[in-house]
Each structure stands twice: as structure tokens, then as C-alpha cells.
Amino acid sequence: MARLDAIFFDIDDTLCATTAFAQRARRNAVRAMLSAGLHGDEESIFRELEEVIAEFSSNYEHHFDKLLLRLPESALAGHNPALVVAAGVAAYHDTKFRELSPFPGVAELFADLRRAGVKVGIITHGLTVKQAEKLVRLGLVPHLDPSAIFISDQIGVAKPNPKLYQTALEKVGVPAGRSLYVGDNPRNDVAPPRKLGMLTCWARMVRRHELGDAPAPDFEVASFAELRTLLRERLDVPLP
């Protein structure tokens, strides 16, 4: 097998448990809105918020405003809606400050990969500011090759379009066969890079997706300890 020159990673549910974190942050936001004067049953309001997110996407910036529009007028009971929304936003971001963290072993592996001469990069789908903020909050920016961070919103190409991966390979100057992509979603993170000839690793730390009709990945791991062993023993990356 050719020498591995670069490893690219997805972010959400690959480097950190984004789905579980988002659920906790939204739950905290609803509780804060109730404390700020919103009236109603917490579970019902939370389910309504989940519907808003499903309909407008997780990247929409005004979920809480839309939530209030869908609740009965009596839910506000004379309270200023801007303050109720602000309480939800503040609670959501406070949860980010407290709880968003990488899976065990991520930073250590990234640092060792850089020392081993392997480029460490990101290929992720989402809004530029949101995805960049996650990398900063996770504390991973110092371990990444600054020229190897690719966010779909910045590139103008979204997953699962293989052009997103092709752009990354061309800009970093790495042949597809000497690169590995690690991601949690087979449709987005296995099929497109495999089509280009990249090696693929299905990250099953969260186990939210099934393989379905996507092509089988070259490798599969359930932790970063397993990924380290895979890189060292099967891909000959000089790691401790």
C-alpha cells in the first residue's frame, strides 16, 4: 500500500458527539426560555423545537423565533419575546462552553500524526462559522494543517458531491490513493471519497448511521484508540 500522506476528518459525530450535544443544548435552551417567562409543558415545547429544526435544518439561525410563532399567544403571557429567545440562545451557547469536547484520544492522535509527517485536515459539511467554531472550541486548530481545512459553505460544494473531496486533494496536492478520509456517514463520508480512489474509514463512535447501499469502507473503527492501531499496524504510519 502506498505511503499515507494525508488524513482528512469529518467533524460532526466523528471528532465529537455533536448529535448528543445538540440534544442537551436544545433541552437546556427550552428550560431557560421557560425560566424567562415562557409558559407550557417542557416536553411539548421541546418536541415543537425539534420539528422546527427538522423543517428549517440545523443550520438555520432563528429556530427559537420560529418556535415562538408556533406556540399559542398565551405561551408568552405578556413577556417580551426577544428576552425569551435571548434566554434560549444564551443557554445553548453556555452548553457549548461547558460540554463540547472531542472524543478521547483525538488531540493526541492529531499531534502524533503531525510529528509523523502526515497532513491532518478537515473536510466537513455545514456553515463556515459554525464548523470553524467547533474546531476552535474542540481545541484542535493547532494540530491541523492550516491549508487543509475545507468547509462546504466556503467551497460552494456540499456533501455528498465528490467535488468537495476533489477540491481538497487538489489544493493540498495529495494523490487520492495516498489519503484517508474518516467520517461517520457512509453516504456522505464513504461513497464520495471512494469514488475518487481515496481510502475510507467509517467512524462508528456514535453509530447513528447504517451502511445501507453505500459501498463498504476500507476500514471501520469505533474509537480513536482503534484508529491509532489501524494507522500504525495496517497503514504503516509511524505512531507510538
- pTM score over 0.85: yes
Single-letter code of the amino acid located at 50: E
Q: Which of 165, 164, 19 is nearest to 103 (CA)?
A: 19
What's the CATH architecture for 19-99?
Answer: Orthogonal Bundle (1.10)
- Residue 11 DSSP code: -
Task: Dump the DSSP string for 126-168.
Answer: S-HHHHHHHHHHHT-GGGS-TT-EEEHHHHT--TT-HHHHHHH
Bridge partners of 7, per DSSP, are 120, 180
Contact 121, 144 (CB under 8 A): yes
What is the chain's pLDDT, residue by residue, as a tens digit (240 residues)? 568 999 999 999 999 999 999 999 999 999 999 999 999 999 999 999 999 999 998 888 899 999 999 999 999 989 999 999 999 999 999 998 898 999 999 999 999 999 999 999 999 999 999 999 999 999 999 999 999 999 999 999 999 999 999 999 999 999 999 999 999 999 999 999 999 999 999 999 987 777 677 789 999 999 999 999 999 999 999 999
What is the H or E stretch that residue 7 is in? strand 6-9
Domain ranges of the chain: 6-16+101-233, 19-99
Q: In angstroms, rounded to a whole number, what is the distance separating the alpha carbons of residues 213 and 222?
A: 20
CA 193 from chain center: how many Å?
A: 17
Q: Which CATH fold topology does 6-16+101-233 show? A: Rossmann fold (3.40.50)
Supply the DSSP symbol for 12.
B
